[in-house]
Chain A
Amino acid sequence: MTTFLLLTVTGLGLAGLYFLVASGLSLIYGLMDVLNFAHAAFLTVGAYASWLVGTELTGVLPVGVVFVVALLAGLVVGTLVAVLMELGLVRRLYGDHVGQVLLTVGLLLAVTALARAVFGSDPVRVVVPDWMNEVTRIGGAAVPNSRLVVIVTAALVFAGLMFFLRRTRYGLVIRAGVENRDMVSALGIDVGRAFTLVFAIGGALASLAGILTGAFFGTITAEQGTSLLIFAFIVVIIGGLGSIPGSALAALAVGLLQQYANYYGAVGMGDLIVVAMLAVVLLVRPQGLLGRVA
């Protein structure tokens, strides 16, 4: 039972990371029709910016303060990179899908290579408060606090996104824009601003995922963004493009199934099951669990 509990909490933590990456991807694709492979670059940039600031401040400030400052620094840098990328590069390629793929894949490869060149190939250890390395007993299982932090953060982000999308005017614009961008413009709304805002949100969430990945696994690497991106894409497709609740639901399914299958089945079974689930969803419900038929 304790093993099952531990697997469940770990699966929920993974689901939280997948959700943080997938929700931004889903909004960007749903609103802007941009398949943004460079999303993983935001994660990498945010994670390393946070690590850099954390390392520089260690010993200067209390660890808890260092963690918060490093987190904020990572978020700001990741968001800025996303905004600059949208304004400077992606904006010129709206409607040009081939150009978008070439650009965003190129950016991902470039940022990954740059991170490896600057920070090295070895994993780097992130600075977290001591209590995050401790465990909490839940039903007899010793659950690492870092996993609980990821789960709670993802839940708060989900609630915040839902509030933003349902209760604010910009949220309304984004929901409408996912359905029909031209008609949103024809109501006198500058959709370009909404595009930038969505990229900023996506960049912030991906950065947060990068920073929390460091807390979850204890280290960060230049390639972790790419591996998370693959599962995030699967989550987006299973959940339904443009649907935040869909991404949350799919992230839960993928994270939990992966953990259970990897433990109770053969090694690597988790990834296989996730890909099989993707195939089934595409065959039975191509628009995704909570997506709408185009």
Chain B
Amino acid sequence: MTTRPDHRVPTAPENDPPDAATPILRLDGVDAFIGESHILHGVGFTVPAGQITALLGRNGAGKTTTLRSILGLVERRGSIDLDGQDVSGSTTHDVVRRGVGYVPENRDVFAGLTVAENLRLAERPGAGHRYDLVHELFPRLKERRGQRAGSMSGGEQQMLALARALLNDDNRLLLIDEPSQGLAPNLVREVAVALEQMAQLVTTVVVEQNLAVIRHMARRVVVLDQGRVVHEGSAPEFFEDEALTQELLGVHHGGAHR
């Protein structure tokens, strides 16, 4: 059981978990399409188990489409290997049932449903449901379980979206898209702490524009540009190389995207 989160900016774990080298997700030659547009061009990278992998890139680089490709929410081709099984031809619900939690870019909580109903909907039959952990990480969700999700603040909706992804105890991979987008600075810190706690339990891929949130917790980084992978490697090394971050992301050291 995790402890109640504090509000320190999290740091990367000292030692990688024993199975860190084992890839839980491997993409190879993935092309993705939205309508007539060809968005991803031969994207390939691996996500080691037990770590946070940051998926970075400028606006329109294809980060969100990459997550949606893994889930089958967009038309895709190529190989997507999830824990040893090819899911490139699987439907979205089949991919998710293999143990994937998803937090979309705009949270997509069900506005007309209560907090409790949103969480109940996320319960997967056959899995255990980590309500204790979810309520410990996000105590406000317990207080507001009868409230309609649409009437909550952006930060609370983000907490609900994260809680929904974390709820099932058989989840092996979390795909989290822009968790700090549109949040006040104090909420960004709160979400970052929660992310770190979640990543200690489940392998996590995070798309994040705010590098201050991700740079201290990610172990691995994948950078996309115009639908192609242009860099893949150690996150600490990447963030230390100011010239590289400037070249690939257009940011100054430690800053957010321009």
Contacts and interface: CB of A to CB of B under 8 A. Distances in A.
Interface of A: 169, 172-173, 175-176, 179-180, 182-191, 292
The 5 closest A-B pairs by CB, nearest first: A188-B96, A185-B92, A183-B108, A176-B110, A188-B97
B178 interface: no
Chain A interface, DSSP helix/strand/loop, else mixed:
helix
B92 A172 contact: no
Contact of B108 (A173, A175, A180, A189): A180
24 contacts: A172-B120, A173-B121, A175-B110, A175-B112, A179-B110, A179-B111, A179-B113, A182-B73, A182-B108, A183-B104, A183-B108, A186-B92, A186-B96, A186-B104, A186-B108, A187-B93, A187-B96, A187-B102, A187-B121, A187-B164, A188-B97, A191-B93, A292-B111, A292-B112
User: Interface residues of B toward A: which range?
Assistant: 20 to 34
B124 interface: yes
A184 B164 CA distance: 12
Nearest to A292: B112
Interface of B: 71, 73, 91-93, 96-97, 102, 104, 108, 110-113, 117, 120-122, 124, 164
Given A175-B110, A175-B113, A185 B121 contact: no
A4 to B, nearest CB: 38
Contacts of A292: 111-112
A183 B93 contact: no
B73 A187 contact: no
Nearest to A186: B102
Contacts of A190: 91, 93
Nearest to B118: A176
A180 B110 contact: yes
A292 B112 CA distance: 9
A179 B110 CA distance: 7
- Counting chain B CB atoms within 10 Å of each CB, the highest count among A184, A187, A190 belongs to A187
Contacts of A182: 73, 92, 108
A130 B92 CA distance: 54
A179 B106 CA distance: 14
B120 A187 contact: no
A187 B122 contact: yes
B108 A172 contact: no
A185 B102 CA distance: 11
A249 B113 CA distance: 21
A280 B39 CA distance: 43
Contacts of B108: 180, 182-183, 186
Contacts of B91: 185, 190
B96 A183 contact: no
A18 B124 CA distance: 37
B75 to A, nearest CB: 12
A185 B112 contact: no
Contacts of B110: 175-176, 179-180, 183
Contact of A189 (B73, B111, B121, B164): B121
B115 to A, nearest CB: 13
Given A172-B117, A179-B112, A186 B73 contact: yes
Nearest to A242: B112
Nearest to A190: B93
A272 to B, nearest CB: 34
Contact of A185 (B73, B111, B120, B122): B73
Contacts of B122: 187
Contacts of A179: 110-113
A172 B73 contact: no
Given A175-B110, A180-B108, A186-B71, 10 more contacts: A176-B110, A179-B110, A179-B113, A182-B108, A186-B102, A186-B108, A187-B96, A187-B121, A187-B164, A189-B121
